[in-house]
Structures are given as structure tokens and as C-alpha cells.
Homo-oligomer: A and B are copies of this chain.
Amino acid sequence: MASKKQAITEDEKLETMRHSVAHIMAEAVLSLFPDAKFGIGPAIEDGFYYDFDLPRSLSPDDLPLIEAKMKEIVTANKPFVRQEVSREEAQKIFAHQPYKLELIDKIEGEKVSLYRQGSFVDLCRGPHISSSGEAVAFKLVSTAGAYWRGDEHRPMLQRIYGVAFNTKEALTAHLKRLEEAASRDHRKLGRELDLFSIHEEAGPGLVHWHPKGAVIRSVIEDFWREEHFKRGYDIVYTPHIAKLNLWRTSGHWEFYRDYLYSPMDVEKQEYIVKPMNCLGHILIYKTSLRSYRELPLRYAELGTVYRYERSGVLHGLSRVRGFTQDDAHIFCSFDQLEDEVVGVLELALFMVDTFGFTDYQLLLSTRPEKYAGDIQVWEEATKTLSQALARLGLDYDIDPGEGVFYGPKIDIKFKDALGRGWQGPTIQVDFNLPQRFNVTYIGEDGQEHLVAMVHRTVLGSMERFLASLIEHYGGAFPLWLAPVQAMVIPVADRHLDYARKLESELKDEGVRIKVDARSERVNLKIRQAQLDKIPFMLVVGDREAASATVSVRQRSREQLVSLTVEKFKEAIKKAVADRAKDLKL
């Protein structure tokens, strides 16, 4: 216990230091912009920020200047001094700082605390480091716009973000991680590798999949469909628009209205673009009277849904307005629920593993304060979920009260190569929809029973999943997913015939292969193929043409390996069929 307490104190000390660096930055900004008005400047994860109202927009070039000023303040080693003053005195001190005055108005009690370092004074509760010399490792990283008090009707201030650590080494390591994350940013790689685009003319948050991104998607979809057929799922297709009344009956209009698109009028009826696929699946289920003998029924759909999100929160592929869920709904009896959840968990973990994610966390979310359905049914279903987890020997954490209003759920969060978590598979039991739409079956007893309904995705959405794949692999997709799997590089123009022959032979075997036919040097072509992160480069010259061989250079290796065409063909076909994570020739 002592060590845990110690750890918290270390965290607190780090937070105090970061908060102090925010004050140092504010002092530096004031020395450069004497008219600056100050918002707030708290510590955050890895660092701090401060919001300023400045006479002009900051550019990236301003950050080194501010940082230089900050270093002067650190070198001057100014002590941080706490002071308590009356409300009136504080109002006098901050007479020219309207945002601070607004904050003073909100402070309860008569005394207001200030912190000074040198001539700079800030309204602040503290605590702080004892003097500015203690701030040894920080860096300003970015600027952004931020509404005062987060209110879009108030002025937009300029926020400067910085990071700060206890040691220079820790800062360097963090900056390296940031750089690595930036170089793997799926928006950047999506552009460089020509995978997708989003267009202001068509609308923010609406993804256009380019040929190379679409190849990855269709390989994933083929694999997904194959696995689902194997595991007894049926594929269905349902329309992207439906009458709004359906969503009134379901309760979505009431609970999620903010995320629904505004209605369209069709012959005096209101329609909306669908925010989820479940209702279409329920309509299909209900086209005939179902017997217990037919259950479980598992309807799966790569269903594209549309949900409104404010344009401010949209982010590349990971936060969008339209996305294709790899959705399925299972209709079963409550007796079958445990087996079904086990089946989904097995499928989900198989998928996560196949795509190369080895680290994940399981969360079981229980009944929230506001819930639909019977408390006993909730408890039984929650028990069923934990039994399913136990049967597979899976460790999991409980997220108390974080279930959806309609039932308990299991979420799987997987970690990428940089250790960042991604929202993955979800398995949700639903007590609400079967009741609202009277989704039933005739049991062995000849009576009508409500079904147990499960919503589940194993990848989440094609969009977010591609984002995770891009960032996990830094764009260097494993062979079976790579948009172009091999690039033939003829040494000279006279080897073009052999290169084309090779291309067509491998294409016939289903290999995604191209020829770099440009009259450029081999090294330049290899460099280009590496930039495009193509798994195999097949260099072919006189020797290869004469002996029906290829000199293979793998994306991740330096040396060339000489192979007969037949051997290479077998190796690549097998690796693709096995969805191999790595391949040694």
C-alpha cells in the first residue's frame, strides 16, 4: 500500500510541475504579447495547455520563440509565491483581464489565491513547484482554437499545448512516441498510400474508399463473410433508409435523436437514413412464425449506417458520419444465450488475432441507473455473459453501470503496436427491442416466448478498423492485406517482356502484382516500392530471365533471395491463404 501511495504522490508532483510550466508559458506569452488576455491553463495528460486571447493568430513559428522565453524564465529560477487577497483586490489586479474577472465572479468565499513568479501573477488555487528552475524538460507541441468555457457562442481563444516531464530522457522518449504516432497517423498514411479521401464538397465525415483502400476492405469483407458462413451465420441486406416511425417504435428517436439525421419527406411520410441495422433484421425475422427448432438465427450484414456527429469531433476514419458496421443480430432462446456469446467471443478473438493484434482487454458492463427491462432478467443475462467468459478462461474487468440501457454487454479493446487502445468487438444483449417489436418464437411448450436478442460487431466498423490497421502496421500491411503484394522491377528495358510474363503468370494465381516499367534506375524503383510499402520486390535482369527465377527483396529485409518462379509462386500463395503475419523466404 505504501508504494501505491508513493506512486500517487509522484503523479501529483508531475501534475504540479506541468501546471507550473503552464504559468511559465503564460509569462513568456505576456512578454511577447503585452496585450494578451488570459483564459485558463491546467495540467493535462503528458503536459499542459493555456488559452489566450491574442491580437493576432499564432503560427507554428511562434512556438520556438515562446519556448526560448520560457527557458530564460527557467534559467532565472524565479520562485513561485502564493498570496491571498480579497475579491476586490483581485478584481483590481485583473482589471484588464476580462476572462479572469469572470472566473473571480464564480469563486466562492471572500479570499482569492494568486501565484506570482517574478512580475507575473495568475489567479490560481495551486499548488506549484517552489521555483521555475525546477522545470527541466518541456516542449510546446501545437496550437488549436478553443471556445472560452467550451461555449461556441463565446469568443474563440488560441490554445497552446505543451508536454512536460521530470527528466530530459522521459521527454525525449515521449516526443519520439509522438513522432512515431504522427508518422503512423492514418490520415497522413491514407493520403500517402492513396487509400481513401474525405471531401468538403460531399460533406465532412463521409469516406470515399480509393482503389487501394477498397482492395483491403474487400479482402477483409471476403474473409469476414467466409468466417460467418462457416460459423452458421446468414447474410442479409437491408435498405439505408426507412420510415421514421420504425425508430419511434424502437425508442431510438427518443434516446438518440441528436445522432439521427433530419427526416426526408416521401409522399407525406417521414423517412430517415438508418443509424443502425437492427430494425431491418427484426423485420426479416418477423416475416414468418418462428419455431424453437429454427433458433438460433444469426443475421449478419455489412451494413452502412449514418449518424450525425458535430463536424468539430470528426477525425479521419476513426470518427465519421457514415460507417459500415460488420453487424449481426442473433435471435435465440435464453437457454441458448451462453453458447451464442461463447461463439461470438471465439469469433471475435480469432478475428482480432488474425489481423495481428495480440494485446487486448475484456470489459463486462453491467446495469446502468436508467435501464429497460426486468431486473431479474438483467441479472441472469449478466451472469450468462460472465459464465461465457469463464468458459473460455478469459480474464476480464467489470465496468459497473456502463451497460447500455437495454442490456449488459462485453467490449473488447485491442491495443496497437504503440500500445494505444482501439474500440473493437462488442456483444450486447437487448431486452428492449424484442419487447417493443414483439419478436417471439414458439417454444417446445407450444407457447409464444420473447427471443433473447444479441447485437454484435467483431471489427466495429470498416472505417475505424482500417484506421487501426493503418496505425498498427504503419501502413506496411501484412501480405494478405497489402493492396499491391509484389512489384516486378526490370533491371533494363530489355527485361520488360520477362517482367510482363511474370506479372501475368502471378496475376492468374490471384496475386496482386504490378510492373514498374519506368526507365529509371533499379535503386530508385526499389525506393519507390518501399515508400509504397509493397511486401515483395521482384528484381529481374539477364540472369533471372535466362533461368526462370526471380531475385526477391522483402519489404522488411535488406538482402535479395534468388528463387525459381515456381517456388516463389507457391510461397506467396501459401502465405496469402494462411493469412501469414510474417513470411521468411
Q: Which residues of B contact A93 (CB under 8 A)?
A: none
Judge if A241 is at the interface, Cβ distance under 8 Å: yes
Judge if A382 is at the interface, Cβ distance under 8 Å: no
Interface stretch of the complex, out of A262-270, A350-358, A392-400, A565-573: A262-270
Contact A240 B306 (CB under 8 A): yes
Q: Which residues of B contact A308 (CB under 8 A)?
A: 266
Q: What's the minimum C-beta distance from A552 to chain B, rounded to whole angstroms?
A: 24
Judge if A389 is at the interface, Cβ distance under 8 Å: no
Q: Binary interface profile of A, 211-227, with partner B (CB < 8 Å = 1, else 0)?
A: 10011011000100100
CA distance A207 to B267 in the complex (A): 18
Judge if A449 is at the interface, Cβ distance under 8 Å: no
Judge if A162 is at the interface, Cβ distance under 8 Å: no
- Which of the listed residues A211, A261, A267 has the most CB atoms from chain B within 10 Å of its own CB? A211
Contact B208 A245 (CB under 8 A): no
Contact B287 A239 (CB under 8 A): no
Q: Which residues of B contact A279 (CB under 8 A)?
A: 202
Judge if A210 is at the interface, Cβ distance under 8 Å: yes
Judge if A460 is at the interface, Cβ distance under 8 Å: no
Task: Answer whether A264 and B267 are a contact pair too, CB < 8 Å, given A225-B218, A241-B306.
Answer: no
Task: Answer whether A202 and B246 are a contact pair too, CB < 8 Å, given A208-B238, A225-B218, A237-B214.
Answer: yes
Contact B264 A273 (CB under 8 A): yes
Our pick among B201, B211, B242, B261 for the contact of A203 (Cβ within 8 Å) is B242
Contact A284 B208 (CB under 8 A): yes
Contact B236 A208 (CB under 8 A): yes
CA distance A217 to B301 in the complex (A): 13
Judge if A114 is at the interface, Cβ distance under 8 Å: no
Judge if A428 is at the interface, Cβ distance under 8 Å: no
CA distance A411 to B284 in the complex (A): 35
CA distance A128 to B418 in the complex (A): 88
Contact B203 A243 (CB under 8 A): yes
Task: Answer whether A239 and B284 are a contact pair too, CB < 8 Å, given A264-B264, A267-B311, A273-B273.
Answer: no
Contact A283 B242 (CB under 8 A): no
Our pick among B201, B266, B299 for the contact of A261 (Cβ within 8 Å) is B266
Task: Answer whether A202 and B239 are a contact pair too, CB < 8 Å, given A211-B299, A284-B208, A287-B197.
Answer: yes
Q: Which residues of B contact A225 (CB under 8 A)?
A: 218
Contact A209 B238 (CB under 8 A): yes
- Which of the listed residues A225, A243, A263 has the most CB atoms from chain B within 10 Å of its own CB? A243
Q: What's the minimum C-beta distance from A321 to chain B, rounded to whole angstroms?
A: 8
Contact A322 B240 (CB under 8 A): yes
Q: Binary interface profile of A, 239-267, with partner B (CB < 8 Å = 1, else 0)?
A: 11111011000000000000001111111
Q: Which residues of B contact A237 (CB under 8 A)?
A: 207-209, 214, 217, 324
Judge if A141 is at the interface, Cβ distance under 8 Å: no
Q: What's the minimum C-beta distance from A243 to chain B, rounded to whole angstroms?
A: 5
Q: Which residue of the partner chain B has the closest CB to A304? A: B240
Contact A241 B322 (CB under 8 A): yes
Judge if A235 is at the interface, Cβ distance under 8 Å: yes
Q: Which residue of the partner chain B has the closest CB to A244? A: B203
Task: Answer whether A264 and B266 are a contact pair too, CB < 8 Å, given A202-B239, A208-B239, A240-B304.
Answer: no
Contact A243 B201 (CB under 8 A): yes
CA distance A310 to B279 in the complex (A): 24
CA distance A236 to B211 in the complex (A): 5
Q: Binary interface profile of A, 182-205, with partner B (CB < 8 Å = 1, else 0)?
A: 000000000000100101011100
Our pick among B194, B201, B240, B288 for the contact of A246 (Cβ within 8 Å) is B201
Q: Which residues of B contact A235 (CB under 8 A)?
A: 211, 214-215, 218
Q: Which residues of B contact A280 (CB under 8 A)?
A: 202, 208
Judge if A371 is at the interface, Cβ distance under 8 Å: no
Judge if A234 is at the interface, Cβ distance under 8 Å: yes
CA distance A240 to B264 in the complex (A): 14
Q: Binary interface profile of A, 270-305, with partner B (CB < 8 Å = 1, else 0)?
A: 010100000110011001100000000001000010
Q: Which residues of B contact A287 (CB under 8 A)?
A: 194, 197, 210
Our pick among B210, B262, B267, B283 for the contact of A266 (Cβ within 8 Å) is B262
Contact B262 A265 (CB under 8 A): yes
Judge if A206 is at the interface, Cβ distance under 8 Å: yes
Contact B242 A206 (CB under 8 A): yes
Contact B239 A201 (CB under 8 A): no
CA distance A113 to B360 in the complex (A): 88
Q: Which residues of B contact A217 (CB under 8 A)?
A: 237
CA distance A304 to B304 in the complex (A): 10
Q: What's the minimum C-beta distance from A319 to chain B, rounded to whole angstroms?
A: 15
Contact B202 A283 (CB under 8 A): yes
CA distance A210 to B197 in the complex (A): 33
CA distance A66 to B560 in the complex (A): 89
Contact A241 B203 (CB under 8 A): yes
CA distance A306 to B242 in the complex (A): 12
Q: Which residue of the partner chain B has the closest CB to A239? A: B206
Q: Which residues of B contact A209 (CB under 8 A)?
A: 236-238
- Given known contacts A202-B280, A203-B239, A211-B235, what 8 new A-B pairs fall within 8 Å (CB)? A197-B283, A201-B245, A201-B246, A202-B246, A203-B271, A207-B237, A214-B234, A261-B271
A selection of 11 A-B contacts at a CB cut-off of 8 Å is A202-B243, A206-B239, A207-B237, A207-B239, A208-B236, A208-B237, A210-B236, A211-B299, A261-B264, A262-B266, A266-B308
**Which 7 residue pairs are nearest across A and B when measured between Cβ atoms?**
A211-B234, A209-B237, A206-B239, A202-B242, A214-B235, A262-B265, A262-B264
